[in-house]
Amino acid sequence: MATPLRFLHLHSSFNPGGKELRCARLINLFGPGIEHVIVSAQDGALGAASAIAPGMQVAFPQDFPALAGRPTPGRLHRIAEAMRGYDLVLTYNWGAMNAVMAHTLFGQALHLPPLVHHEDGFNEDEAERLRTSRNWYRRLALGKTSALVVPSKRLEWIARDVWYQPRGRVRRIANGINTSAYGRRSDPRALPRIIKQPGELWLGTLAGLRPVKNLPRLVRAFAALPEEWHLVILGEGPEREVILDTALQLDLSHRVHLPGHVVDPAKAIGLFDLFALSSESEQFPISVVEAMAAGIAAVSPDVGDVRAMLASANRDYVTRTGDEAGLADALCVLASDRRLREAIGAANQARARAEFDEKAMAAAYASVYAGAMGRAVLA
């Protein structure tokens, strides 16, 4: 019997978010024949583990060297030593960049396995402008990676023109989901602590409650909608109280709901009548693909690849980044016209099924990972 492959995943956090849930979904799709060891740079931030299917071979070690901190030679050498014994190392975002640097510096001497790095976007500290010091560090650290995987055209451009990565190293793979699981009628009781009542209309979003998502902006834009509309924000994070305070100040507490994280969005997103983002920065948000697959029209700032992702009929409701009044106006137009929402939603659903299904995504990732290990196929 062949020895199973062993993958080491080094995350900035493994709490539920786009990249973490994609990682969990890929683990499920690759099946139980691969062992996965998952490390979070944030102590205890392992909430996305609940999305990994039973029967997968997964471990969460508590003694892996800290990924965060000054990149001293001693720290980097300890991280590099801990990478030994695997078939492939997978690193994610800036929070794991010390591990990428450790691999570049000590990989050859320690005979380390190949490394594939993933960049999915930026937090609020780089939402408007990339930090020069981090650009330099990325250029050096990424020098010996087998591949750099990005989901969006903008990140592909940054990787090539800002981080100076060779064209053959950068691989753009669009985020995908199981589109066939979406588009079904959802149970009004599908969410904890809230039931959709007859006559209610829901504006919804799925997002980590972090400053870069600027959810207080969405609350303010939502304030213009009629009384029958409710705002439902699915997710968890440190901005929860800020969002609730904004709703309280605008006398919207009875119409703004934060039920928390939902393990299976496909069972809940069908309750939304309209979807919205309010982020300062995105790249290729899975939540938009989920809304599209569910047949829902969307309103969003013009961030990342969102405009290109949406069906052409929906692109008139992508507003200038930072234009809160424009966001509110777009919400009002779609909220007032059910037939328009439904027509746009149908176009979004057709595009999601044609372009963003998880089977194509999984095949592309399997190809990159197998190629890094010098294999023809992953299995």
Per residue in 52-73, pLDDT (tens digit) is 999 999 999 999 999 999 999 9
Q: What is the pLDDT of residues 39-55, one digit of tens each?
A: 999 999 999 999 999 99
pLDDT at residue 179, rounded to an integer: 95
Q: Is it the case that residue 290 has pLDDT exceeding 80?
A: yes
Residues 6+ apart with CB under 8 A from 26: 361, 362, 365
Is 341 in the same domain as 269? Answer: yes
DSSP 57-112: EEE--S-SPPSSS---HHHHHHHHHHTTT-SEEEEESGGGHHHHHHHHHHHHHHTP
CATH number, domain containing residue 235: 3.40.50.2000
* CA 147/CA 170 separation, integer angstroms: 6
Mean pLDDT of all residues in 225-241: 96
Residues of the chain with pLDDT > 70: what percent? 98
pLDDT at residue 379, rounded to an integer: 72
Mean pLDDT of all residues in 140-154: 95
Is 107 in the same domain as 240? Answer: no
CA angle 352–346–222, rounded 5-degree value: 95
Q: Is it the case that residue 125 has pLDDT exceeding 80?
A: no
* CA 341/CA 305 separation, integer angstroms: 21
Q: What is the pLDDT of residues 68-122, one digit of tens each?
A: 999 999 999 999 999 999 999 999 999 999 999 999 999 999 999 999 999 998 7
Written as one letter, the residue type at 170 is V
Strands 5-11 and 88-92: parallel
Residue 379 lies in a domain: no
The residue ranking higher by pLDDT, 221 or 282, is: 221
Q: What is the pLDDT of residues 149-161, one digit of tens each?
A: 999 998 999 999 9
Is 209 in the same domain as 340? Answer: yes
Is 145 in the same domain as 205? Answer: no
* C-alpha separations of 335 from 75, 214, 218, 317 in Å: 54, 21, 14, 12
Is 132 in the same domain as 244? Answer: no
Contact (Cβ atoms closer than 8 angstroms) between residue 240 and residue 258? yes
The residue ranking higher by pLDDT, 265 or 310, is: 310
Residue 287 lies in a domain: yes
Is 130 in the same domain as 277? Answer: no
Q: What is the pLDDT of residues 201-216, one digit of tens each?
A: 999 999 989 999 999 9
**If residue 345 lies in a helix (H) or strand (E), which one and from where to where?**
helix 338-355
pLDDT at residue 105, rounded to an integer: 97
Is 83 in the same domain as 222? Answer: no
- Name the residue range of residue 27's domain: 5-176+358-372
Is 194 in the same domain as 210? Answer: yes
Mean pLDDT of the chain: 94
DSSP assigned state of 297: -
Is 106 in the same domain as 206? Answer: no
